[in-house]
Amino acid sequence: MMYSWAVRMLEARCAVLLEQDKECVAIPTSSEQMRSNSSLHRTAMLDLFRDNVERLVLEHSSPSSLNRNFLHEDAINVFISADFFAAIHLPNRQGMRGRVISAGDAFSGTLSINKKSIKAERARTITSSADIDWWTRSAANKPYTEVHFAPAWRIYDVVLDASDNEKLEIDSPLPWHTGPFELKKIDTLTGEIVTDETAKEGVIAFGAFTAIARAGGAYAMMNNAWPVNFGEDTGPNNYGTRTQPVVIASESANVIYNSSKIFEGTAGKQDFDTKWLVRRVAPITIVDGGNITIHGHFGDAEAARAGRSNKQRRSFIPVDTALYYDIDFRKTTVSSSSNMYLRTAAIFSRKQGYNQLGWSHENSFSARHQGSVSHEGSRSTKVKYSAGAKLNVSLLAEFRGTIYSTGWDATPYTLFAGIAPTALYFTRD
């Protein structure tokens, strides 16, 4: 600032000397060049500020979440504030502007707004502390089926010619955007929309929007990806939805001694072989291989059963239960023991075998057998997948075994195997 002031003073002095046909020492950098340099430096600093704001927001967001808008809850307000700050200092940042957040090739670079095709500016790269998964699918109404990984975010700036108060909205089938937007006159001193009482000085035209073109995390893995009907090909998603599947095998009754079946050898026993399975409606292709971790977060399957069937939640089953069993068996002359195997799992199968996030319990017992296995909220496993590996994902709940009556008396039992994933997703080292 001092140099710029001094240059203007010297230029004014030179103008006077030249009028008097006197010599004037040439100034190395003119005031016009100073203004140009200052504008370039200011632009560079504000670009760096914007990039660091975006990096900070993305590092504090949740790209693996079930929410298609994985950004931090304060992200949009932070973006608007940063864009408004730039607009105050750079006239070319005023008007209607937006950003599209993407990764890899998830975004084509063209956005449809009010049925008009708008070409975005060249993508800016924002490095990430971890690889970002981004998914593709065959059509907008289909589940995502191909998962890629990228080392950085790609941010596309979009500049629009818009009239004041013109209602605008994105038509492109993106995972998420901020909704309708419009250009407003804003008071730079207060940041408020101009009113009749606002002074005419310090007013700029400003509008901003944010869109997300990258689908990933649990949203891409789970959204509308699970059948809810019974069928031979897909199995039952018996207490869940197309996005939040729940699979439960549960039974509560008594094994009673039935003398009429004494010659069949089943008078005082009951065999169990119950299995429920739901498969994701489409397989997944790991386009970019590597050391990939499968993550799962799990909720209260028993609460889902109670809610969907309009029944009370059974309080004796802990909220974090994957498996529960209570078999009130006693050793008698009819049988010295009973046995039971219970299992529940999220299974990721391929040609070479399968990996799972699962829990199991197996025991042979001669007295009352009671207990539970907790899913503890989450579980993960690391797998090395080759590029192009195809996975079929399914959820399983099962129990099998034999329970005998306690002599002539009934053996009451409760068996429960349930899985209710709230999020399933991949990360790559």
User: Exposed, middle or buried by CB within 10 Å (0-12, 13-18, 19+), for 306?
Assistant: middle
Average pLDDT over residues 312-325: 96
| % pLDDT > 70, the chain | 87
Confidence of residue 333 (pLDDT cuts 50, 70, 90): confident
Return the DSSP state at 183: B
Matching residue, tokens 């008009």: 116
Q: What is the pLDDT of residue 400?
A: 97
Q: pLDDT by residue (tens digit) across 76-109?
A: 999 999 999 999 988 888 899 999 999 999 999 9
Contact 147, 293 (CB under 8 A): no
d(CA 229, CA 232): 10
Average pLDDT over residues 193-210: 85
Q: What is the pLDDT of residue 99?
A: 97
d(CA 33, CA 131): 43
Sign of CA dihedral 252, 257, 263, 265: positive
At residue 232, does pLDDT exceed 50?
A: no
Looking at this protein, which amino acid is placed at residue 99? R
Candidate ranges 46-60, 85-99, 236-250; pick with highest mean pLDDT:
46-60
Confidence of residue 352 (pLDDT cuts 50, 70, 90): confident
Q: What is the pLDDT of residue 22?
A: 66
Least confident window among 82-86, 226-230, 347-351: 226-230
d(CA 299, CA 244): 10
Contact 413, 281 (CB under 8 A): no
β strands within 39-94, DSSP E: none
Q: Is the model more confident about 188 or about 298?
A: 298
Average pLDDT over residues 353-368: 96
d(CA 30, CA 18): 16
Confidence of residue 320 (pLDDT cuts 50, 70, 90): very high
Average pLDDT over residues 326-331: 94
Q: What is the pLDDT of residue 263?
A: 47
Contact 130, 152 (CB under 8 A): no
Average pLDDT over residues 220-241: 74
What is the phi/psi pair of residue 100, to 5°?
-115, 120
Q: What is the pLDDT of residue 128?
A: 95
Matching residue, tokens 């070409």: 119
At residue 117, does pLDDT exceed 70?
A: yes
Q: What is the pLDDT of residue 4?
A: 62
Matching residue, tokens 């914007």: 50
Q: Is the model more confident about 34 or about 173?
A: 173
The SS3 call for residue 24 is coil
Q: pLDDT by residue (tens digit) across 186-199?
A: 988 888 888 877 77
Average pLDDT over residues 266-278: 86
The SS3 call for residue 395 is strand
Mean pLDDT (the chain) is 89
d(CA 369, CA 245): 30
Q: Is the model more confident about 5 or about 335?
A: 335
Q: H-helix or E-strand containing 3?
A: helix 2-19
Cβ-based neighbour number of residue 405 at 10 Å: 23
Contact 104, 213 (CB under 8 A): no
Average pLDDT over residues 315-336: 92
Half-sphere exposure of 262 (CA within 13 A, CB side): 6
Average pLDDT over residues 294-323: 93
Distant-in-sequence, close-in-space partners of 62: CB < 8 Å, separation ≥ 6: 70, 72, 217
Q: What is the pLDDT of residue 37?
A: 60
β strands within 80-173, DSSP E: 95-103, 110-113, 116-119, 124-136, 146-160
Q: Within the chain, what is the greatest distance between any pair of CA atoms?
A: 132
